[in-house]
Chains A and B, each alone.
Chain A
Amino acid sequence: MTPTTTITTGTTLELPRRWRVPGWGACLLVAIIAECAYFTLTTRQFAGGGEGMLNLTEQFAPTGILALGLAMVILTGNIDLSCAANASLAAVIAGTVLSKGGSPAVAILAAVAVATFVGLFNGVIVAFVGIDSLLVTLATQFIITSVATSVAGASPPFGFPSSFTLLGQSGIDYIPIALLIFLVIALAVIVTIGYTGLGRSLTLIGYNPRAARYSGIAIRRSLTSVFTLCGALSGVAGVLLAAYYNSAQPDIGTDLLLPGITAVILGGMDIFGGRGRIGEVVLAVFVLGYMSQGMLIEGDSSLSITMITGLVLIGALVVKFAFERNFRQRMSARMLRLRTPWNRTPLPRDADG
C-alpha cells in the first residue's frame, strides 16, 4: 500500500502575486536624474544648456531601438544574438543602395526589408524547426556578419546625401530625429506588448509555454512574428547608425549587442521570459546611454566603459535577485507547508507492510 494523502480542499490557497522590486522604474528614473546631475556638475560640456543633453541621445537611440526588439524576444523566453549583426547588415545595405545612386527612401526600405527577412528566417527556424533560439541566432550571427562584410566589399560606402544623414544628425527644434523615432517605436512596442492580443500571447509564451500551448495560442506564429519584428527594428537601428556615422562599416552595429542586452536586463526583463515592462527598458536605455556618454565626455575609453557597464549589470541583478529570492523562499516555504502536511507528521515506518 502506498500512503495516500488528502488535502483539505476547503483552504483557499492564495496564489502569490508575481513580485518585483518595488518601483524598479522609479529607481531607474532616480538613477537617470542622479547621473545627469553628476555629469552636469563635473563636466561643462555635458549639459550644454539642455540642448547638449538632448543631442547626446542621438548616440544611443540606435542601441535603444535594438533593445526594444530584443526586449520583445526576451519576453518570450528566447534571445536574439544576431540582432546587432543584423543592424550592421542593414546599414551596409542602405549604404550600398545610396552609393549606387538610389534615393534615401529606397535605401531605407531595402535595408529594413532585408533585416526583416533575416528576422523572419530566425523566427521560422526557432518556431518551426524547434531549435533553441540561442543556437539559431548564434549561427545566423556568424552568417550575417559574413554577408555584411562581403556586401560592403573592400571599401565600405561612406559620404551619403544630406537628406539621408539628417535622420541621424539633425533635429526638429533641438529634439533629434533619432530620439523621436526611438520614442515613437517605444510607444508602439509598449502598446503592442501591453494592449494587444499578440503582446498577451508573447507574455504567456514566456511565462509558461505549456500553458500557452494548451490555451490555444498559436505559439509558432507568435514566435515567428516576434523574431520578424526584432529583425525589422534591428534594420531601423542599422539605418540610423549609417545616417549618424555617415558611413557603413560592416561591423558598425557589432558593439550594440552587449549594451542592448544589458539595457533589457537592467530594465527588469526576466531572462527566462514572461515578466518585465517595456517602459522600464526604455528608462534603462537612458540610464546606460547617459552613463556611457557622460564617461566618454569625461575622457574614459570605451572599453573601460564596457567594464563599468558590466559591473552595473551585475550589481543591479544581484540586488534584484536578492530581493526576489527572499520573497520566493518565504513564499515557497508557505506553499510547501500548505501542500505537504507530511512534512510535519512523519510517515509511519511500516506504511509499506
Chain B
Amino acid sequence: MTTARNVEAASAARRELSVPPRWSWLLRRREILVTAVIVIVVAGSTAAHPYFWASTNLAFIFADSVVIAFLALGESFVMIGRGIDLSVGAIMGLSAIFVGFRIQNDGMTLLPAVLLGAGVGIVLGLGNAILVGVIRLPPIIATLGTLSVYSGLEFVITNGNQVDTIPNSFTNLGSDTVVPGVPIILLLTLPFVLIAAWVLRYTAFGRSIYAVGDDAEAAYRAGISVQRVLFSTYVISGLFAGLGGVAYLIYTSGADSTTGINDNLTAIAAAIIGGTALTGGVGGAFGALVGSVFLTVTLTAMSFAHVSDVWQPAGVGVLVLLAVVYDSRARAAGGGRLGARRQRRRQLRRRAGSTGQPTGATGQSAGSTGQPTGATGQPAGGGAS
C-alpha cells in the first residue's frame, strides 16, 4: 500500500514538474542559449565595425578565450562537485613560469612543455585535493589559503626575473590560422574539451561528480566514495590550470610574478555564464568553453564600441549577475542556504510520505541534529509552505 501511495504521489509530482513548450529545451540548454547570444553580439559588432570580422581579430579573441577556457574547464569539474577552487589562476601562473623558463633557457619543444605544464598543475592541484579531500577543510578557505601560498611562490620562484622570449614556434600557434579566424591553438584545445565532456557525461566517475554535487549524502548512501571524487576534481582542476599556463605562454609570449593572480574570478565567471551552478550538480565542459568565448567576445565588442577599458570588469560583473538572475536554480528561497529546488524536492518527499527516515547523522552535518525518529515519523522541519 505504501508502494501505491508512492506511485500516486510520484505521478502527481511529475504532473506538477512537467515542462510545457516544446521549443523551451533550446533555452534550457545554457550552451545553446549563450552561443546564440555570441552570434548576436558578433553580428552586431561586425555591422558596426567591419574589422571585428577580420581573421586576426577573431583569432585573437579565440586565443584569449582558450586561456580562460582551460581554467573554466577545471573549475567546472570542481563546481559541479559543489566545491570552488580560488587558486586556479595562481596555478596557471606558476605553470606558465615553470614552463616558460624551461622554454626560454633550455629550448623545450611543445609536447614536453605541455606535459611539464600538466605535471606542475597536477602537483599543485594535489595540494588543494589533500586539503579538501583528505583533511576536509571547507573548499573556499582551503583554496583561498593555497591562492596566497601559490601566488607568493610565483614571486619567490621568479625572483624578479620574467619570461619574455618565447620562440615563434610557440607564439605562432596563437596567431596562425587554419581556417580564417580559427587559430591552431583552438584546434589543439578542442580535444581537451571533448575529453572533459566525455568524462563528465559518459563515465561512471563523471556521473558520480554530479551525484556528489547534487546531494553528497545521497551519493554517499548510494555507495560513491565522496571524498575520493572530491579529491580527484581538485587534481583535475589543477591539471587544466597547468595546461592553461602553457596556453597563456602561447597567447601572451611571456609571464611574470603576477601572472594569473586576477584570473581566478574570471574563470569562475566564465563557468557560471556557461551554465555551471555554484550549488553543484549542473554544468558541463562545453558550457565552460562557450562561457569563456562569450566573455572574451563581449569584452572585445565593448572596446570596439569605444567603451573605456576601465569598464571591462564591470562588464564581467554585470554578465555574471545576469547569468545568475536568469538561472532560477541558483536562487535560494528566503535568502537561506536551501536552494529552491532542494526545498521542492523536500516537499515532494514529504508528500510522498517517505518511509526511510533520514537519520541526519553524517560526519559533516552536525547542524542537522534533531528529528529523533519517533513513531510519528514527521520530519521536524515539516512546517509551513
Contact = CB atoms under 8 A, between A and B. Distances in A.
B123 interface: no
Contacts of A150: 308, 310-311
Interface residues of B, number: 68
Nearest to B148: A310
A339 B361 contact: yes
A130 B145 CA distance: 28
A173 B335 CA distance: 47
B138 A146 contact: no
A135, A208, A304 interface centre (most CB from chain B within 10 Å): A135
A139 B333 contact: no
Contacts of A208: 367
Given A139-B321, A314-B131, A321-B135, A219 B316 contact: no
A311 B269 contact: no
A205 B151 CA distance: 34
B375 A4 contact: yes
Contacts of B335: 126-128, 130, 209, 219-220, 223
A272 B152 contact: no
B138 A307 contact: no
A77 B334 CA distance: 14
Interface string B43-59: 00000000000000000
Given A132-B330, A146-B312, A318-B135, A307 B317 contact: no
Contacts of B362: 332
Contacts of B140: 79, 134, 271
A215 B174 CA distance: 59
A128 B336 CA distance: 10
B137 A207 contact: no
A199 B145 CA distance: 28
A304 B363 CA distance: 36
Interface size class on chain A is 35 or more
B153 interface: yes
A135 B313 CA distance: 14
A339 B372 CA distance: 7
Q: By DSSP majority rule, is chain A's interface helix, strand, loop, or mixed?
A: helix
A274 interface: yes
Contacts of B330: 131-132, 135
A332 B367 CA distance: 11
A303 B317 contact: no
A220 B375 contact: no
B318 A143 contact: yes
Contacts, number: 202
Contacts of A272: 138, 367
Contacts of A147: 314
Interface in B100-116: none
A19 B336 CA distance: 24
A228 B257 CA distance: 36
Interface stretch (A5-13, A23-31, A60-68): A5-13
Given A130-B332, A135-B278, A146 B361 contact: no
B201 to A, nearest CB: 25
A169 interface: no
Contact of A271 (B141, B338, B361): B141
B145, B154, B257 interface centre (most CB from chain A within 10 Å): B145
B2, B272, B310 interface centre (most CB from chain A within 10 Å): B310
A272 B137 CA distance: 11
Interface string A113-155: 0000000000001111111101110111111011101100000
B108 to A, nearest CB: 26
Given A141-B317, A147-B314, A314 B336 contact: no
Contacts of B138: 271-272
A15 interface: yes
Given A303-B151, A314-B149, A317-B145, A135 B333 contact: no
Interface string B350-375: 00000100010111001101001111
24 contacts: A4-B375, A13-B372, A77-B337, A131-B330, A134-B140, A135-B330, A138-B269, A141-B265, A146-B313, A150-B308, A150-B310, A210-B381, A214-B381, A219-B336, A220-B334, A220-B335, A258-B144, A258-B148, A303-B152, A303-B257, A305-B152, A314-B149, A317-B137, A336-B359
Interface of A: 2, 4-7, 9, 13, 15-16, 77, 79, 81, 125-132, 134-136, 138-143, 145-147, 149-150, 205, 207-210, 212-214, 219-220, 223, 258, 261-262, 265, 271-272, 274, 301, 303-311, 313-314, 317-318, 321-322, 325, 328-329, 331-332, 335-336, 339-340
Q: What are the nearest 4 A-B pairs in CB distance?
A: A307-B152, A310-B148, A142-B317, A209-B336
Given A130-B331, A138-B317, A303-B156, 9 more contacts: A131-B332, A132-B332, A142-B315, A142-B320, A143-B314, A214-B384, A303-B155, A311-B149, A321-B135
